[in-house]
Structure 1
């Protein structure tokens, strides 16, 4: 059995009772494959570097409720394929981080994000490390005395693998190497420059990981396998699709859901019962408005759509203007022809390399401007 699987089997619901303190490695709220694998492998690394005398457990926590785990089809597929099952995982609603923080027994390392959402701001004092691959936000809080590694590469797992290679390469058995490799291949659309996600470091690190597996993997087959798993949403309702991969931006008294869905938006909107599902989702999640990011990927092509749903026409028009014109029209949005849904403005996105990582700063800038 792989050492990472043995480690995860020890990360169970009684772990917090066995340790007087916990070092939690926390992924982001979308809990996509990059976030989940980064949390697991980086926690495994930090655990391995302990001298055996520290009275603290190092555990990865997936930043979603356990009930949402089945929605993460590529995550469940890839982890199970490598022997890591749900009963070996810890989810956000299974660990009371606030209580640990109040008792002075919490340390946290953030992976695949570097700013806690407002609801978690009280936990900032416990953050002792950051490992992220997105642009550093201007007002990001300082990580006092901690390790901060922020570098724009295609996948956070590239940075995790780099850390393992430099600090404890013995951990990289074929299973651990494969967990990281597949995630990098998916995130970079099989290292495809046309997707505008890949960097030389992603190529270099994925090549090193591939050498640790026997036989060497076919990147095309890995990408196809994970793409199919991610796109397997046939059994999901519209509400479940909107919860599958979502992040939230807040400011100016508004709460904006930004949902990424692995299909064309015309198909999602067709499932929305004329927009009724979107309206119900807004109410259930207490969103002021919803930004929908649709995408499809193949080895050769990437497509992206974007829509803004908001019953308030004035608010909707403001967000549309920001996304169409922001940063000189960087998203390259053009109106999308489709069967209309009231309250929804939909666009084809010309800049297929602009993922949610580029959309979120535009939204946050608009929200910040509302408060100034």
Structure 2
């Protein structure tokens, strides 16, 4: 960024402020599709070969949940990135500043094991976690999800990632069936709501 400053029509500090303001723009975030929202500010990590990702979204949690086809887009994104699970970190400012963390996967039982482990790990780390008071299953149309309110806002994604790694290790779970070399699910039951080799 500093190398570009001499060529910018405004000062470096002015450009930084403009970019920050744009990133915080509510209307811009709302204009994104669910898939675009997941891709914009994304990081991933792994635990024992199980890869997971976190997308940071500067929207209130209830607005994230109302994004069209959010769960379907999340399944597509998990398949594209070869993820065990995807998490979305949202931000709310009322009634007090808090973050929300939404977990989604393709396996209900294993997801519950992971999120229960995350609740324990987060509690030990004093994240001030509580389960979200929203019926996320009804909003997303699937039970393969879980959400938390995080009131200790000092825990950013950078701090949350290693806690998820620890939760994976504690739970000892992999959230999806094995994939082949092309990244497709092997699902003889046909129950997974994600692309398979036969349907692609």
TM class by shorter chain equals 0.5 to 0.7
Q: How many angstroms does 1:260 deviate by?
A: 0.7
Distance 1:3 1:307, change over 3 A: closer
Of 107, 110, 121, which aligns to 1:326?
Answer: 121
> Equivalents in 2 of 1:304, 1:227: separation in Å?
19
Of 155, 158, 177, which aligns to 1:354?
Answer: 155
Count matched residues: 163
Of 230, 240, 246, which aligns to 2:42?
Answer: 246
> Equivalents in 2 of 1:271, 1:285: separation in Å?
21
State the structure with bigger RCO (CA 8 A, min sep 6), 1 or 2. Answer: 2
* CA displacement, residues 248-277 of structure 1 (integer Å, 9 cap, x when unaligned): 011223110111111122222221426222
**What is the CA RMSD across the aligned residues, in angstroms?**
3.2
2:107 aligned with 1:312? yes
Tell me if structure 2 keeps the 8 A contact 1:291–1:309: yes
Tell me if structure 2 keeps the 8 A contact 1:308–1:345: yes
Q: Secondary structure at the match of 2:69?
A: coil
* CA displacement, residues 309-352 of structure 1 (integer Å, 9 cap, x when unaligned): 01212331232123211151522222221352211101221212
The gaps in structure 2 that reach 5 residues or longer are 174-200
Matches for 1:235-314 after TM superposition, within 5 Å: 235-273=31-69, 275-296=71-92, 302-314=97-109
Tell me if structure 1 keeps the 8 A contact 2:60–2:90: yes
Structure with greater helix percent: 1
* CA displacement, residues 83-132 of structure 1 (integer Å, 9 cap, x when unaligned): 49xxxxxxxxxxxxxxxxxxxxxxxxxxxxxxxxxxxxxxxxxxxxxxxx
Tell me if structure 2 keeps the 8 A contact 1:305–1:348: yes
Q: How many angstroms does 1:279 deviate by?
A: 1.6
Q: How many angstroms does 1:293 deviate by?
A: 0.5
Q: Secondary structure at the match of 1:294?
A: strand
The gaps in structure 1 that reach 5 residues or longer are 10-81, 85-174, 183-221
> Normalized against structure 1, the TM-score is what?
0.38
Tell me if structure 1 keeps the 8 A contact 2:104–2:146: yes
> Equivalents in 1 of 2:153, 2:68: separation in Å?
25
* CA displacement, residues 53-100 of structure 1 (integer Å, 9 cap, x when unaligned): xxxxxxxxxxxxxxxxxxxxxxxxxxxxx449xxxxxxxxxxxxxxxx
Q: How many angstroms does 1:283 deviate by?
A: 1.4
> Equivalents in 1 of 2:80, 2:39: separation in Å?
11
> Equivalents in 2 of 1:274, 1:245: separation in Å?
16
